[in-house]
Chains A and B, each alone.
Chain A
């Protein structure tokens, strides 16, 4: 549960931050909805990247101390 939860957090955080940046840029430049759209996808990509990195880190630390940091 811990690992899955952590990975979901990473993904959602990526999308959220991307969308937020897009929204801010849009309201600043008045280009709605283009930046929101672009940064939504960039955020999703960043989220996936984070999930990948988190998974790799979990795997590494699990390997290192055989079942330590899994709840992260």
Chain B
């Protein structure tokens, strides 16, 4: 078994020490720190990117919030305007209605007054005619007539 050839042990050990020691030094001093730097840089970079993404997201959220606020404001404003317009129109309509009503009322008043005057006049005519008739009838029947009594009787009846 070549593995038990003792005279080969010392050179193997010597070279193992040299090679392993050299490999250790190169890896520990040069190669591994470089890998560590690259990995660290990447980690930092990723963290930075995440931070940035986070920031962007925050900005986006803010923009969305602002937009929504503006939208809500606009909506409220529009609502206000609509309300105001509605109110104004209502008022106008009301005013016009009132003025028309007033005019109508005036006309009705005038008409009523005319009617009343006409009626009164008519009633006045009726009284005169009635007095005349009553006077004439009483004169015809009794020969003479008390005009004042006839007037009183007619007024009594017309009441």
The reply to whether A and B meet directly (CB within 8 Å) is no
Interface residues of B (CB under 8 A from A): none
